[in-house]
């Protein structure tokens, strides 16, 4: 366990908490591809009060609320982020990275592998500036389990944190405490990226993968880990819309369909069986349909033709198909519609470790296992849709939402 910096002690060299006088800019919606767990919805571009609302586990400081509580079961505001303009939030397993509209980067939570980019193994429990990126122009951020990727305009891609499975893509398996430029992408534009125990990066239209590959989640035709980004040539010539790195599988949405590959023990590939796939396979169900959102963990969520479909691991009822006790936890091997959500009001979805998130025009719905308080219902109970609306968020328009293993961060504007 690493030391935790509190809001009363921000004097550590190279660490700057967010200045309280930061002006309140207009909330800016962003693309979902910024992070595997990132979701968004459009809001009117009017000047309104904004807040970051956090709930779930805080034992490593990942909520950024500056105390030492184990978890907060009810949503709370992050004091240092009131009326701060934010472009993106990405949550790793136990850390959070926040990109502000002025292109400064802040982080909080576990830093034991250098995933916060401070040049040390320090953990912090308030949002603290990553000084390495001062003067640079970060545009995208994606957090994996214990690593972080940051794309910078004109420079390419930086990686930091654990590379035990090669997930940093820098040519070895050594931890990096400071952001390190990935040679392959130097000077190139990064389109989108997603991280878990492996990393998926789309650069100038091409797909590159690195990291853990025990189940074939890199899609390269074998199960050997990689420590350098390798082009997934299968997708050459295809237009990539979204990518999502699950724990043991990967989902890629193109203009001609939805492809999955990797681990499949729960049916999370949606192919009707439980056999892993070492190379990309198109899910026939989604052929000739319009897919707007994807997300994956040990289960997969897809919004298609204004309906929500889920498949994969069903533990704690996180697939949302039924409240019947005899069927609620069943695994599902092909896309199955969640009956409680339909229409264009579905803005985004997030597949999490033990729960699922849907952002709609009518509110935010989170269901599954709440034993860490990460669903924001004010208790630690298992919840099922449609009785899963997070009422504490009813008075906000949600601009961004991101989930880690057991914590949730929401950037919202007051209605």
Q: What tens digit of pLDDT does each residue of 68-118 get?
A: 677 778 899 999 999 999 999 999 999 999 999 999 999 999 999 999 999
Residue 254: closest CA among 210, 311, 209, 294: 294
Q: What is the pTM of this model?
A: 0.89
Residue with tokens 């957090």: 143
Q: How many CB atoms lie within 10 A of CB 33?
A: 21
pLDDT tens-digit map of 148-181: 999 999 999 999 999 999 999 999 999 999 999 9
pLDDT tens for residues 198-224?
Answer: 999 999 999 999 999 999 999 999 999
Residue ranges of E strands in 78-205: 86-91, 95-100, 105-109, 123-130, 138-143, 147-152, 156-161, 176-181, 190-195, 198-203
Max mean pLDDT among 4-8, 164-168, 343-347 falls in 164-168
Q: What is the pLDDT of residue 162?
A: 98
For residue 332, CA distances in Å to 60, 114, 270 come to 34, 37, 8
- Tens digits of residue pLDDT in 287-312: 999 999 999 999 999 999 999 999 99
pLDDT at 16 over 70: no
Closest CA to 73 of 382, 374, 287: 374
pLDDT at 69: 74
């Amino acid at each position: 366990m690493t030391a935790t910096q509190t809001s009363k002690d921000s004097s550590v060299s190279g660490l700057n908490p967010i200045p309280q006088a930061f002006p309140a800019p207009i909330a800016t919606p962003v693309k979902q591809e910024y992070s595997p767990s990132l979701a968004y919805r459009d809001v009117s571009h009017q000047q309104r009060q904004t807040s970051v609302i956090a709930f779930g586990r805080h034992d490593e400081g990942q909520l950024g609320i500056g105390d030492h509580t184990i978890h907060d079961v009810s949503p709370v505001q992050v004091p240092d982020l009131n009326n701060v303009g934010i472009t993106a939030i990405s949550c790793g397993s136990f850390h959070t990275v926040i990109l502000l509209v002025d292109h400064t980067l802040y982080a909080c939570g576990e830093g034991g592998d250098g995933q916060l980019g401070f040049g040390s193994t320090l953990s912090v429990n308030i949002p603290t500036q990553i000084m390495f990126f001062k003067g640079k122009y970060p545009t995208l951020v994606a957090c994996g389990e214990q690593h972080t990727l940051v794309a910078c305009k004109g420079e390419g891609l930086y990686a930091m944190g654990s590379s035990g499975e090669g997930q940093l893509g820098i040519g070895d398996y050594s931890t990096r405490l400071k952001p390190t430029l990935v040679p392959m992408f130097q000077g190139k534009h990064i389109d989108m990226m997603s991280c878990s125990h492996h990393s998926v990066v789309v650069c100038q239209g091409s797909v590159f993968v690195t990291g853990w590959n025990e189940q074939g989640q890199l899609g390269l035709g074998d199960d050997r880990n990689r420590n350098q980004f390798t082009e997934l040539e299968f997708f050459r010539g295809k237009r990539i819309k979204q990518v999502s790195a699950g724990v043991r599988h990967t989902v890629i949405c193109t203009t001609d369909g939805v492809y999955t590959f990797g681990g499949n023990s729960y049916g999370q590939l949606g192919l009707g069986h439980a056999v892993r796939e070492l190379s990309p396979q198109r899910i026939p169900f989604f052929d000739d349909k319009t897919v707007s959102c994807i997300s994956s963990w040990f289960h997969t969520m897809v919004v298609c033709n204004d309906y929500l479909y889920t498949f994969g691991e069903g533990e704690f009822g996180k697939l949302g198909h039924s409240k019947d006790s005899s069927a609620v936890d069943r695994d599902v091997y092909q896309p199955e519609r969640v009956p409680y959500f339909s229409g264009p009001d579905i803005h985004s979805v997030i597949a999490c470790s033990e729960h699922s998130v849907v952002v709609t025009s009518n509110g935010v719905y989170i269901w599954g296992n709440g034993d860490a308080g990460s669903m924001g219902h004010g208790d630690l109970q298992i919840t099922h849709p449609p009785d899963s609306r997070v009422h504490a968020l009813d008075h906000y328009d949600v601009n961004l939402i991101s989930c880690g293993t057991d914590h949730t961060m929401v950037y919202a504007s007051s209605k």
